[in-house]
């Protein structure tokens, strides 16, 4: 049983049932998180002029200037993590769509 406060808040969202409303909110959240990942990934692509797989290959070949500088290493780690996070949110969206939600 949902509290009155939660029930009242859910009335503002699409869906006929509580389950449908929660599915709607989950998909919207996943979509927003995916959009944020894409925006942050685009910033790295602009900064380094390449996609992550190209950056990683260049890194391994020693072609990235100042590769072991704090900022460059931090960017590498964050960029790699964003790719993994993007895959996570894509999977959640595909799963919700394939379940008819």
Kindly report the pTM of this predicted structure.
Answer: 0.84
Taking 60 as the threshold, does the pLDDT of residue 101 lie above it? Answer: no
**44 is in which domain, residue-wise?**
20-98
Q: Which of 14-18, 26-30, 70-74 has the lowest mean pLDDT?
A: 14-18
Residue with the larger pLDDT of the pair 56 and 15: 56
Please give the biggest Cα pair distance in the chain: 60
Give the count of domains, the chain: 1
Indicate whether 10 belongs to any domain: no
Indicate whether 13 belongs to any domain: no
Indicate whether 14 belongs to any domain: no
Indicate whether 26 belongs to any domain: yes
Indicate whether 25 belongs to any domain: yes
Indicate whether 80 belongs to any domain: yes
For the chain, the average pLDDT equals 93
pLDDT digits (tens, 9 = 90+) for 18-58: 889 988 999 999 999 999 999 999 999 999 999 999 999 99
Indicate whether 55 belongs to any domain: yes
Number of other CB atoms surrounding residue 45 within 10 Å: 15
| pLDDT attached to residue 100 | 59
Indicate whether 5 belongs to any domain: no
Q: Which residues lie closer than 8 Å to 48 by C-beta, 6 or more apart?
A: 55, 64, 75
Q: Determine phi and psi for 51, rounding to 5 degrees.
A: -80, 165
């Amino acid at each position: 049983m949902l509290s009155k406060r939660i029930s009242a808040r859910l009335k503002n969202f699409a869906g006929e049932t509580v389950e449908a409303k929660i599915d709607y909110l989950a998909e919207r959240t996943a979509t927003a998180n995916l959009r944020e990942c894409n925006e942050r990934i685009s910033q790295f692509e602009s900064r380094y002029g390449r996609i992550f797989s190209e950056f990683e290959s260049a890194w391994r070949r020693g072609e990235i200037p100042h590769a072991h500088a704090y900022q460059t290493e931090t960017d590498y780690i964050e960029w790699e993590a964003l790719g993994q996070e993007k895959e996570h949110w894509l999977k959640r969206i595909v799963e919700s769509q394939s379940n008819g939600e």
